Amino acid sequence: MPTEPLSQKEIEDRLRELPGWTLEGDRIARAYRLPTHFAAAAMAVHIARIQDELNHHSDLTLGYNTLALSVNSHDAGGAVTEKDFDLAQRVEQIAPAHGAR
């Protein structure tokens, strides 16, 4: 059964709970700065593990000491759903351990 898209108001309300996350088109997104390239790569691997656990995969872009995520739900036609916010919250929980800001 597909996940239901969130309304614009629901997305805006949920984004208030996740500082640093924004709505970019049909996705929620966040960029992190990390102390080193290795820290950024380690965080990317940690996120990949979370994505596999949730069976929900985002776009990840790894830079020298940056990591950017862009998330929406393919099973909801590319809309933003509760699944996207679940993933974002999990990423926020692990970010401090990697030195992300």
Residue spans per domain, the chain: 20-64
Q: What is the DSSP string of 26-61?
A: TEEEEEEE-SSHHHHHHHHHHHHHHHHHHT---EEE
The pLDDT score that the predictor gives to residue 22 is 98
The pLDDT of residue 52 is above 70: yes
The pLDDT of residue 58 is above 50: yes
Distances (CA, A) of 80 to 31, 33, 68: 18, 24, 17
Quickly state the pLDDT bin for 3 (edges 50, 70, 90): confident
Region 15-26: mean pLDDT is: 97
The pLDDT of residue 2 is above 70: no
Region 29-57: mean pLDDT is: 97
